[in-house]
Structure 1
């Protein structure tokens, strides 16, 4: 793909304008309602899909399919971020009206870090073609570990980055609105919201280590890797507020995400043996996501857990009688 500089500039301009609009719309601290989150989610998804249409129109169906596959991978893996964000906000007892501001700057930082990672990945791939096999093996191992440890819990109190930041940075224990820093006793000190932001940024860097190689599995075009990543990440805040109250229902999501990582890892390992068509990649990714989400919602539907518990109790009574 021959992408001119003006196209890069235009994409960055659209991203910056949309971020400015989002920041202006949420300039006052307030609790983001489900309806508001759904509206913004629809806007971000529509924008991401519309850009995919532009890519298809300008560079053909193959490029459009690669963008869409990358977008879908990042969007599905971003759901996993929602779990961790909810855990972080709960651990720090962050008031709901302050959460959007943290996520806004978290996404802003994520875009910068992703751009750096993508540039580094592109240089590595162009210089060392065999690095694709390393990425593929890494994704397979990561997917397997995610599946094995899908029910594990994260203990933030033992997080080394958080412990280091708290030791080195003077802070206050009280929230001061949406501020990350306040002046006390003649010096600047960090509020708890700053440490929340540190954890959000750290989490996103960790997730980027998985998602960036995964997108390189479907396309090695830097423009498609960055744009699919960026447009998926832009809707992360709205996705969080839309799904935050439902995360406990996605009991099989990690298994689906693990399957996606293993699939794209295998796809990368087979590059010189068989190139899996982009339409097949899209189908497998969508199927893994749909099955894991659908099965989760079905299993956790109202009354389903009570029925399972009743069946289990009935089985225990039958065993006792025997």
Structure 2
């Protein structure tokens, strides 16, 4: 069994255990998640991501079984790391490789975590539009995240296969991200609305399933006179899954601008997704205060897209992975601070 498969198996087992702990904290007595619980789990997820970063710094070469200079050259070329390998010193070269992997993971994690904030804006709209009780948020988000993990796995490794075969597709990804960033900036003040009755997912599901008109606790299905029906909560879950699919079209190409190693893309992506649920409960009541985040995310997407378009010259003009991380953190910090210094004016 290859080292990559062993890493994936171990990671999936880890995900299962942590989600069980997460569910144990959030799912007690079917009550709304408190700010304290959300804060604790948010801190735990971030700490675990940082722990994984340290693991990569020390054992990252084990991921692709890199123990020789020949293997290191092979992986360096395959994943476009552009490492300055010392052909006379394996230990130094492996340290450089692990440091590069760690930096790519950390940068990808920050990008995905930041883009997840946009998911939260939309999730709040969805829950509000459908009148979902706050005590049922955690159930929908739990299953939503499980579905998102499966979809991201498929998207990421499909994307890696496309890049490996058609390297020019990176320029398509880059142009798309620039376009998305510009569009997000133009529409930053546009009021988003969700019509529960006319939503495309609701119409589609109604064609194939019998829909119960009322919520039934935290259940996705119910039986009425022996007939199985889906509840409005299941419709909400379908909409959230569809929304995540749309967001994945932005976020996955964005991380491929940082690293071409699909395993690092997967690990950074999944850590950010796993922290999304606790971050939602942490920000749900204050998300509107960060009104400049849309501008920040638009700038972030445009920056990443431009970096992809200029990938051949990025290193020459100083756009290393480390520099990109500083720029990304700077964009996010400025948008958050600006939101606090210049609060949104209330309409009278």
The answer to whether the aligner puts 1:271 opposite 2:314 as a matched pair is no
Structure 1 stretch 201-210 or stretch 19-28: which is displaced more? 19-28
SS at match of 1:189: strand
The answer to whether the aligner puts 1:44 opposite 2:32 as a matched pair is no
Distance in 1 (CA, whole Å) between partners of 2:119 and 2:158 is 23
SS at match of 2:211: coil
The answer to whether the aligner puts 1:239 opposite 2:279 as a matched pair is yes
Distance in 1 (CA, whole Å) between partners of 2:226 and 2:4 is 51
CA deviation map 1:26-47 (0-9, x unaligned): 1531110111100110011111
- For residue 151 of structure 1, report the CA deviation from its aligned partner: 1.4
Distance in 2 (CA, whole Å) between partners of 1:159 and 1:178 is 21
| Contact 1:137/1:265 (8 A) holds in 2 | yes
- For residue 61 of structure 1, report the CA deviation from its aligned partner: 1.2
Q: How does 1:87-236 map to 2 (within 5 A)?
A: 87-157=125-195, 158-236=198-276
SS at match of 1:177: coil
Distance in 2 (CA, whole Å) between partners of 1:80 and 1:289 is 13
- For residue 132 of structure 1, report the CA deviation from its aligned partner: 0.6
Distance in 1 (CA, whole Å) between partners of 2:259 and 2:345 is 42
Q: Which has the higher contact order (CA 8 A, sep 6+)?
A: 1
Where does residue 283 of structure 1 map in the other structure? 326
Where does residue 82 of structure 1 map in the other structure? 120
- For residue 3 of structure 1, report the CA deviation from its aligned partner: 4.9
Equivalenced residue count is 304
- For residue 52 of structure 1, report the CA deviation from its aligned partner: 1.1
SS at match of 2:260: coil
Runs of 4+ aligned residues of structure 1 deviating over 3 Å after TM superposition are: none
Structure 1 stretch 2-11 or stretch 78-87: which is displaced more? 2-11
Where does residue 12 of structure 2 map in the other structure? 12
SS at match of 2:258: coil
The answer to whether the aligner puts 1:252 opposite 2:295 as a matched pair is no
| Contact 2:314/2:320 (8 A) holds in 1 | no
- For residue 18 of structure 1, report the CA deviation from its aligned partner: 0.7
Distance in 2 (CA, whole Å) between partners of 1:48 and 1:202 is 26
Distance in 1 (CA, whole Å) between partners of 2:243 and 2:311 is 30
| Contact 1:3/1:223 (8 A) holds in 2 | no
SS at match of 1:267: helix
SS at match of 1:182: strand
Distance in 1 (CA, whole Å) between partners of 2:263 and 2:252 is 13
- For residue 153 of structure 1, report the CA deviation from its aligned partner: 2.5
Distance in 2 (CA, whole Å) between partners of 1:82 and 1:23 is 19
| Contact 2:31/2:135 (8 A) holds in 1 | yes
- For residue 166 of structure 1, report the CA deviation from its aligned partner: 2.7
- For residue 305 of structure 1, report the CA deviation from its aligned partner: 4.5
